[in-house]
A and B are shown apart, each in its own frame.
Chain A
């Protein structure tokens, strides 16, 4: 079976796992080793397993692969139970301590799946008011979390064995959507019975899902799960949303066309819609991205979305993007070498150390990064064409 047919078959299985209907069938056995790897990269093993358990045995993968699917589904069920408890525990504490917070991303989107463990969630994403940061930190530390790292957007807390909490102090990174979300706290609503736990309206949540997807497309790419999220959410909510409001808001941030493409893609993947060359290319991009994108994609995106370099040609932007990988900006270098904060004048020395370290100690990674910069021109041009048709806005 060629890869495109295998992808179509996999998406049919996903559709069957979440929506029922006609059982997917194939006269030819797919390459199940490959399909399992795809499922693993996209963290959809649970969904596929739930479908396989309903399908006739002759359509099952080899037993050793089926057992892998089953095992992961069990693990995700356990993870879901732990995350449910941890979230309740944390929100109770926030409510009692008067900490305002907004629930984001997977915490909410999994409610639209037939069963919550089918929507794997690596971490809990919660927005808080920066002025309440100390209180947030105290509560998390009292519950046994440690602050793993901080960046421009959020602080990440970890508790063994696998609980990750991302406390966001803003909804989006600096860029195209910052202005749109600067008054987010005026647009959220309190959860029933709560004084401090907020959610976006469902219309705003739909818009946020799309904005978040754009952010990933503009970075390393995004996976199958993002499209499944849109499909599941829209399926449940389509008759309950104010679509005129959504269209007006999407127009403000120039996302109407992008959203139309995403909905069309859902229709093709899960609704039996007719595909085209463009949507085949988009499918290939998404499937090859994996759940969180790839280094290669990030590099290509950096060349495409180069801010004030937009007027320069692709060669120049490619060159600049390569330089940025080799000579990381000071802020990024400080995350890797904290002594630079005290001695910023040593930045050139830190660059040299990093280059030597990668050349001798991390040859594989160096090859991955620079290998991915070769043959780039054609890829950049092709990707730019895809992004232009998708009407992705500037970063």
Chain B
């Protein structure tokens, strides 16, 4: 049985755990703890402190693992471990919280250092009124036109599926030859 993995990363409360939950065939194994700081508690009650783990069985010979990283910098020692051997990665961004955009850019740069693998950016929470347009997000994150910035609603299966598929297309393109 061959196992491959995709990493889902991004700032605190960007929707990484939800993204994996929406598509995983197993109940996501989450290492969540109650949040200790008041500022973070105002956004959500619990946060991932080590990783989230989801699984999708493709066939009898192949399984895809989805790993979600903890969002806060104080747990970033986990990031490099999770990035090891990944096929590619997805950067989740909460499109309604511009205060997290700078952090998203920094996380993206950090992961690109860990591995030169393909990635896509998921502009999450596009169903909310205050969501920034993915193309505005591209400029805010200083991403060039070649990077895929995809609209996403992490609670919707079809939306999550599209993001994963777009990443897989990028991986396939990368394997087909030096495109970048």
Do A and B belong to a common assembly? no
